[in-house]
Amino acid sequence: MRPRIVYGPRYRQQRQMRMGPARRRGGHSRLWIGLAFAAFAFLSYQCSTEYNPVTGEEQHIAITPDQEIALGLKAAPEMAAQHGGLHPDREAQALVDRVGQRLVQSSEAGKTSWKFDFHLLADPRTVNAFALPGGQVFITAALLKRFDSEGELAGVLGHEIGHVVARHSAQRMAKQQLTQGLTGAVLVAAGGGGSEAQIAAMVGQMINMKYGREDELQSDTLGVLFMSEAGYDPRSLIKVMQILEDASGGEAPPEWMSTHPSHGNRVATIQAAIDKLYPQGVPDGMTP
């Protein structure tokens, strides 16, 4: 029987001392590789810049306009299916089409290359509206039935048109690519530990959530502009905010942990946009 060798504390201490330089060299290598990953992700993000003539901003964009349109068209049937398909009421769908196209044709949105289509979803429970990249805009029957005026419908559709022309989806894709690159760099530099992965993922999520709130406020501002250019009373969008708050039952997560701004913040942004457009007050004769 082979004798068992027992190493004492002194031997283990000497072995750890010999392995220390190797571990440090390995740590330095991971750090440099992680920094290289981070630099590549950051430079790629900074180089993907385009000017948006509607918003007047320089944006970081991950895909081309044609890719955005194709992506939206491809995803539209699946999104409709998730909400019970398209609503069979042709008259209601015609109303959504008419208001949506009035907004597009009366604003800068009509001068863009986006292919706008407006869809009324059959979902009777989910109070929601959303837009896909490239111009596919959706509103649920549950939200439409809560409106008392055409102007309220115009407010929601104008907001969603704002998301499209501001290219918020493409911006989020670019930000997510940056976040993934930086997260990977953290994991490489840290040796891929579980706690580091959780921290990196949490930081990345918070970054993207912050930009989500900014996107919503920008779309509210654009919605006010598009409504006004189409002859709708922009104050109807404030009524929409009350409808959405009532639909939520007044229960919402704190703003800093939500992808949407608080009700009060959105109302303040909308009112500021109205005051900027009409410093002397909203004129009479606009469609409510």
What string of DSSP letters covers the chain? -PPPP---HHHHHHHHHHHHHHHHHHHHHHHHHHHHHHHHHHHHHHH-EEEETTTTEEEE-SS-HHHHHHHHHHHHHHHHHHTTSB-S-HHHHHHHHHHHHHHHHTSGGGGSS---EEEEE--SS---EEE-TTSEEEEEHHHHTT-SSHHHHHHHHHHHHHHHHTTHHHHHHHHHHHHHHHHHHHHHHHTS-HHHHHHHHHHHHHHHHHHHHHHHHHHHHHHHHHHHHTTB-TTHHHHHHHHHHHHTTT----GGGSSS--HHHHHHHHHHHHHHH-TT-PPTT-B-
**pLDDT tens digit sequence for 147-176:** 999 999 999 999 999 999 999 998 988 777
- Name the band, by pLDDT with cuts 50, 70 and 90, for residue 260: confident
Inter-axis angle of helices 65-82 and 168-190, to 10 degrees?
A: 90
Domain ranges of the chain: 51-172+207-277
Predicted pLDDT of residue 175: 76
What pLDDT, on the 0 to 100 scale, is given for residue 250? 60
* 2-50 tens-digit pLDDT: 555 545 566 556 555 555 555 555 556 666 665 665 565 555 555 668 9
pLDDT tens track for 261-284: 889 999 999 999 999 999 999 999
**Tens of pLDDT, residues 50-66:** 999 999 999 988 789 99
What pLDDT score was predicted for residue 176? Answer: 75
**Alpha carbon 170 to chain centroid distance?**
9
pLDDT digits (tens, 9 = 90+) for 240-257: 999 999 998 766 666 656
Between CA 141 and CA 51 the distance in angstroms is 36
Question: What is the DSSP pairing of strand 129-131 with strand 57-60?
Answer: unpaired
